[in-house]
Amino acid sequence: MTAPHGFSVSRYAPERGTLAKLTARDSVLRRLDWPILLSALALSFIGSLLVWSATRGRTELNQGDPYYFLFRHVLNTGIGLALMIGTVWLGHRTLRGAVPILYGISILLILAVLTPLGATINGAHAWIVVGGGFSLQPSEFVKITIILVMAMLLAAKVDAGDQLHPDHRTVAKALGLAALPMGIVMLMPDLGSVMVMAVIVLGVLLASGASNRWVLGLIGAGIAGAVLVTTLGMLDEYQINRFAAFANPDLDPAGVGYNTNQARIAIGSGGLLGAGLFKGSQTTGQFVPEQQTDFVFTVAGEELGFVGAGLILVLLGVILWRACRIARETTELYGTIVAAGIIAWFAFQAFENIGMTLGIMPVAGLPLPFVSYGGSSMFAVWVAIGLLQSIRVQRPMTA
């Protein structure tokens, strides 16, 4: 049969078939959690503008190119998206079988930081310089590894139908595997990352259905560990100064308290609608240190005001809300634990980052997910989004 204007119907049937497959109810595109994906993309877009505003005038950082950090932030986001797609394509269940390999690679990478390959940036010896102006922070990927290795162990017998909850021996093994990389990261020392990992472990235990005695014991061990670390002098001077400035904001406002004071001034000056993008006096005057990374939220507060800063919080809230739905609706404990670990990670890290700019949390050197400049952190959070999407895509279809 010939269609109007002489075009053959059969010639175009494959195209309609391909479109139908892409839009079918059981297709990957239809089953993706679009609120999470769009919120993460919006945060990365906002972050690119904030990073650009914070760095375009800093010739000592951008090598004379005002677009230097903007281009790299967009590039990091693109690579992160590719990693997310790859994670969804592989699937969290496939990655479950590769967890021992991923765990071993993570241990080797963080051990490499303690060798001459490691580099110190912003006071933390937590980086590996790979050349071309790029560096790698292995502790960002350790967060993912801890989630996966603990989920693999804690869910194995439960998903197989042998147990209702993880037994004590299994929980002990999972905690031991998490403690090894955390101890190595503490030697760097990267206290901020260790804090995030500890919250991840707590979130994983709560989601696994492990005995409350383990949860209470972990909290007690964390408090005892903090006291021990402080008593033994394992913290560097700059870390001690950060906690001192948090406890007493008026302590040495031109020294250890400078970052926090300038951050609060920047956010407080923004008002409801802000001074306008690229028009913040604190940002253009370069008064806030590390404004493209740890203190990027101050750019939002000053230049976009309460409305713009609030939008960032809303988008982060959407991601956490949808992640909670994914954790609740999956039929396997492994998926629930992985989602819960990511929720704990994102929630605490965002709270800590924003809290330190407001003076309600100590400065810990943690990036704001999707918004702060940084390749390793961007790659890690997009892999986490890929894991969430995989859990949603691979769940059984409901009638």
The string of DSSP letters for 364-391 reads: ---PPTTTS--HHHHHHHHHHHHHHHHH
The pLDDT of residue 252: 52
Give the Cα separation of 389 and 31 in Å (integer): 8
Cis, peptide link before residue 66, omega less than 30° from 0: no
Give the Cα separation of 232 and 235 in Å (integer): 8
Give the Cα separation of 154 and 44 in Å (integer): 33
Give the Cα separation of 267 and 309 in Å (integer): 9
The pLDDT of residue 384: 97
Give the Cα separation of 196 and 202 in Å (integer): 10
**Bridge partners (DSSP) listed for residue 135:** 129
State the pTM of this model. 0.88
Per the structure block, which two tokens stand in for 165? 């909850």
The pLDDT of residue 205: 94
Alpha-carbon distance values, 103 to 110, 173, 377 (Å): 11, 14, 18
CB 70, CB 349: distance < 8 Å:
no
Give the Cα separation of 39 and 217 in Å (integer): 36
HSE-up of residue 322 (Cα within 13 Å, Cβ side):
19
Give the Cα separation of 390 and 387 in Å (integer): 5
Helix residue ranges per DSSP H, the chain: 9-23, 28-31, 34-55, 59-62, 68-90, 92-113, 138-159, 168-186, 191-208, 212-231, 237-247, 258-268, 281-284, 296-299, 305-329, 333-358, 375-393
Give the Cα separation of 191 and 305 in Å (integer): 31
The pLDDT of residue 248: 60
Query: b/e for 226-245, b at 16 or more Cβ within 10 A?
Result: eeebeeeeebeeebebbbeb
Q: What is the pLDDT along the chain (399 residues), one digit of tens a residue?
A: 444 444 344 444 444 566 565 566 667 787 899 999 999 999 999 999 999 999 998 878 888 889 999 999 999 999 999 999 999 999 888 888 899 999 999 999 999 998 888 887 766 778 888 766 678 899 999 999 999 999 999 998 888 777 788 889 999 999 999 999 999 998 887 888 999 999 999 999 999 988 888 888 888 887 887 777 667 666 666 566 666 566 566 655 555 567 788 888 899 888 999 999 999 888 888 888 888 898 999 999 999 999 999 999 999 999 999 999 999 999 899 999 999 999 999 999 999 999 989 888 888 889 999 999 989 999 999 999 999 999 999 776 543
Residue 117 neighbours by CB under 8 Å, 6+ apart: 128, 129
The pLDDT of residue 236: 62
Cβ neighbour number for residue 93 with a 10 Å cutoff: 13
The pLDDT of residue 13: 44
